[in-house]
Amino acid sequence: MSLEKLFANFDNYIPLNEEEREDLSKRVVERKIKRRQFILQEDDVCKHYTFVAEGCFKKFQVDQKGTEHNLQFIAENDWIMEIDSFYNEKPSRVFIEAIEPSVIFQITKPDLIELFMTNPKFNRNFRVIIENRFVELENRVLQAISSTAEERYLTFLNQYPKLSQRLPNTQIASYLGITPEFLSKIRKEISKK
Amino acid sequence: MSLEKLFANFDNYIPLNEEEREDLSKRVVERKIKRRQFILQEDDVCKHYTFVAEGCFKKFQVDQKGTEHNLQFIAENDWIMEIDSFYNEKPSRVFIEAIEPSVIFQITKPDLIELFMTNPKFNRNFRVIIENRFVELENRVLQAISSTAEERYLTFLNQYPKLSQRLPNTQIASYLGITPEFLSKIRKEISKK
DNA sequence: AAATACCCTTAAGATAGATTAAGAGTATTT
DNA sequence: AAATACTCTTAATCTATCTTAAGGGTATTT
């Protein structure tokens, strides 16, 4: 069952005991999400911390010209949050949309705070979740300021081998900050070698 | 006195009462840092969370060619950490170096954990510190994948008006991910308008 | 099964940004 | 005060990446 995936995810950090699993399961809501369905839209306040049990989402921002820019892909066994909006109740600047049919577990802010209060282990676990994403983001900034598009693409393939097979190249190009045409050219170059 | 700046920094989050200030002051160490002095070098483990009371630092990574890439500037009233290295005791991939003579306060991991344990307010405050940096990082990734160098430069000027006057353009160029020559060209374009 | 939307590739021409080199102007060090 | 090391700028040339346009291939929807 999907809840098991949520529990198992914490085994990567500090595993939960039976009681803690109970606490958590009482506070999360399972949802099935269709392809192309949004779980967060621009200007809405992000009300949930979300765990992806199955499927895949993209988090993106839309510029003045209407072009989408993918900030992140989130597949099964990973967490999505729009931190600024969630904690500070600001309108979100991003959209979060399902790329595949998905199953998620969501927890609201009051419930999360409750967990933090009653048990420091949750505090610690959720801190580690943020830290991991933090490290990922710093790596991305470094790549952005120091590498060519080809290097960034190879890093992406290396870092997300499964994801890169599930995603259309248009989406990957948006994530890398290049046009699909240029990604196509890069792929051709690589295949020559 | 400099310690006051540290206390005042928490007023931006959840202010500390007298007792908490005591707790904190017993666990931080004040250091004076000279220009060009490093407080973290590549391959060392980051042992401290650092608050900058005066001065300015740069956090950068060096690539295979020996080129420096600035990930972040940290000036007075801000926090520096190399999260992955600090929490997971991994060797750091970055250097942190003073650009100006500086005064800092440092806290070790055991002391920080102690604070987290004894008082949830610290937990909360340090989580917010990370969140703020997190938002900054996401904005930078977005800019990197969606904006031209000129747009990124204008955003930088706008976001860090004081910093941009204290830093040499070579350092700003490294932060933006462009060459100093190209930054010079951009500045010329802007001044024409 | 046809229609529609989406996706991938190619190529020509345009623009953003890098590289190299050189010179003048400021700080810093001796 | 001279010497040295940075910093900023300019310009020419080169390379990375974008834009536009077009065609063929796959999914999805009707």
Are B14 and B69 in the same domain?
A: yes
Q: In angstroms, how far is C21 C1' from B118 CA?
A: 61
Statement: residue B192 has pLDDT above 80: no
Per-residue pLDDT reduced to its tens digit, B110-119: 999 999 888 8
Are A13 and A68 in the same domain?
A: yes
List, for chain A, all residue ranges whose pLDDT scores fall below the cut of 50. none
Nearest residue of B to residue A62, measured between CA atoms: B146
Q: Tell me if residue B177 falls in helix, strand or coil.
A: coil
Are B16 and B97 in the same domain?
A: yes
Are A152 and A140 in the same domain?
A: no
Are B73 and B92 in the same domain?
A: yes
Statement: residue B145 has pLDDT above 90: yes
Band (pLDDT 50/70/90 cuts) for residue B120 is confident
CA gap A127, B71 in Å, rounded: 22
> Do the Cβ atoms of A71 and B135 come within 8 Å?
no
CA gap A137, A48 in Å, rounded: 21
Q: Which residues of B152-180 are buried (b: 16+ CB within 10 A; e: fewer)?
A: bbeebeeebeebbeebeeebbbbbbbbee
Q: Which of A49, A82, A145 is the mutation pick for testing B, counting most B CBs within 10 A?
A: A145
Are B58 and B153 in the same domain?
A: no
Q: Which of A138, A139, A152 is the mutation pick for testing B, counting most B CBs within 10 A?
A: A138
- B74: exposed, middle or buried (Cβ count in 10 Å: 0-12, 13-18, 19+): buried
CB A15 within 8 A of CB A6: no
Are A94 and A185 in the same domain?
A: no
The tally of domains found in chain A comes to 2
Per-residue pLDDT reduced to its tens digit, B173-191: 999 999 999 999 999 999 8
Query: Number of helices and strands (H, E) in chain B?
Result: 9, 8
Q: Quick one: how far is CA A177 from the chain centroid? A: 18
The answer to whether strand D lies under 7 Å from the CB of residue A40 is no
Are A64 and A106 in the same domain?
A: yes
Statement: residue B12 has pLDDT above 90: no
Band (pLDDT 50/70/90 cuts) for residue B124 is confident
Q: What is the pLDDT of residue A7?
A: 95
Q: In angstroms, how far is C28 C1' from B67 CA?
A: 23
B162-166 long-range Cβ contacts below 8 angstroms, 24+ apart: B162/B75, B163/B56, B163/B73, B163/B75, B166/B56, B166/B75, B166/B99, B166/B100
Per-residue pLDDT reduced to its tens digit, B61-72: 999 888 999 999
Farthest CA pair distance, chain A:
58
Are A106 and A32 in the same domain?
A: yes
Residue at which a domain ends, from B125, B146, B167: B146
Q: Which nucleotide, over all strands, has the C1' atom closest to the CA of A147?
A: D16
Report how far apart, in Å, the C-alpha atoms of B19 and of each of A117, A182, B26, B114 are: 21, 59, 11, 15
Per-residue pLDDT reduced to its tens digit, B41-56: 999 999 999 999 999 9
Band (pLDDT 50/70/90 cuts) for residue B32 is very high
Percentage of chain B lying above the pLDDT 70 cut: 99
**Main-chain phi, psi angles of B33, to 5 degrees:** -120, 135
Instruction: Give the CA radius of gyration of chain B.
Output: 18
Q: What is the pLDDT of residue A64?
A: 87
Are B61 and B40 in the same domain?
A: yes
Report the CATH number at residue B19: 2.60.120.10
Q: Which residues of A162-171 are buried (b: 16+ CB within 10 A; e: fewer)?
A: ebeeebeeeb
**Main-chain phi, psi angles of A113, to 5 degrees:** -60, -40
Q: What is the pLDDT of residue B4?
A: 92
Q: What is the pLDDT of residue B68?
A: 95
Are A109 and A93 in the same domain?
A: yes
The answer to whether strand D lies under 7 Å from the CB of residue B192 is no
CB B49 within 8 A of CB B121: no
Q: In angstroms, how far is D7 C1' from B180 CA?
A: 10
Q: What is the pLDDT of residue A147?
A: 96
> Do the Cβ atoms of B137 and A142 come within 8 Å?
no
Band (pLDDT 50/70/90 cuts) for residue B172 is very high
Are A79 and A135 in the same domain?
A: yes
Range of the domain at B102: 2-146
Which of A149, A131, A123 is CA-nearest to residue B131? A131
